[in-house]
Amino acid sequence: MKIIPLSEGTFTIDQSKVFVPFNLSHDNLQQRAVGSLLVEIQPFVVITSKDVLLIDTGLGFANPDGTLQIHQHLINHDINPSDITKVLMSHLHKDHAGGVSLYDKILNRRFLSFPNATYYVQQQELLFAMQKGAPSYLPDELDILQHSGNVHFLQGNGLIDNYIQYEVTAAHSPWHQVFWIEENGEIIFFGADDAPQLQQMKSRFVAKYDYDGKKCMELRQQWWQQGQQEKWTFLFYHDVKNPVWTFK
């Protein structure tokens, strides 16, 4: 399997839930609001023998010419956005789901950003997002998921096409899910915001911003131990330095 990180850049985020660009070469974290966290925003493409998978969709920011950033990043890697066959959504917080849809000013309507893909979304997560709303969720951008034939709603845990396992953890958010992609003896694990950074896997860190921080910490310890034994490849969505980590 081939893994391609699609970095959208480094940001700080505080209690306002606003993602502010951060330049590692000259910005100072101490000058940002108290409690600001430094995070990478990093969807992933995984190319398997069956699919071109996109895992989460980023912030949904656009370039000055109007091109969706995630589309441009795909094109830079010689992947047409129409080539994506499956979009796996861990949850629908705006930094993971901002690129789910795009707005066409001429037609005055929204379209799914990956028209040939099947989107895999926990149904309860979408219902929760529509009810909860801003600042963590953007219902206007997610509403299209309720009305599109391209969306496959998941109920709890299961298996997609006999090689993509998904499991609801209810750790970072109430209906958060994680994925294992297994092919030819290789296992890729995406823990999204339950397991966002390498350093958190190696410590007993409990985050106040998680729905169930203690459960997140316990799951990270469990996954890290199992991943070491079974030689998983970990994908870290918010890690500035280590987007991909493989036990060998």
Mean pLDDT of 85-96: 97
- 106, with CB counted inside 10 A (0-12, 13-18, 19+), is exposed
Mean pLDDT of 34-42: 83
On average, the pLDDT of the chain sits at 93
Mean pLDDT of 145-157: 96
pLDDT of residue 32: 84
pLDDT of residue 193: 96
Domains and CATH numbers, the chain: 2-246 (3.60.15.10)
pLDDT of residue 117: 98
pLDDT of residue 227: 97
Percent of the chain with pLDDT over 90: 76
Sheet containing strand 20-21, edge to edge, reads: 20-21, 10-13, 37-40
Q: Roughly how many angstroms between the first and final C-alpha of the chain, as a whole number?
A: 16
The whole-angstrom separation of Cα 170 and Cα 90 is: 11
| pLDDT(34) > 90 | no
Mean pLDDT of 39-44: 92
pLDDT of residue 93: 97
Mean pLDDT of 210-229: 95
Mean pLDDT of 9-24: 82
CA 119 to chain centre: 13
Band of residue 14 on the pLDDT scale cut at 50, 70, 90: confident
Beta strands of 98-190 (E only): which ranges? 101-104, 109-112, 118-122, 151-154, 158-160, 164-168, 177-183, 186-190
Band of residue 151 on the pLDDT scale cut at 50, 70, 90: very high
HSE-up of 123 (CA within 13 Å, CB side)?
A: 7
pLDDT of residue 115: 94
| pLDDT(116) > 80 | yes
Band of residue 121 on the pLDDT scale cut at 50, 70, 90: very high
pLDDT of residue 108: 86
Mean pLDDT of 24-33: 80
The whole-angstrom separation of Cα 142 and Cα 156 is: 20
| pLDDT(248) > 80 | no
pLDDT of residue 162: 97
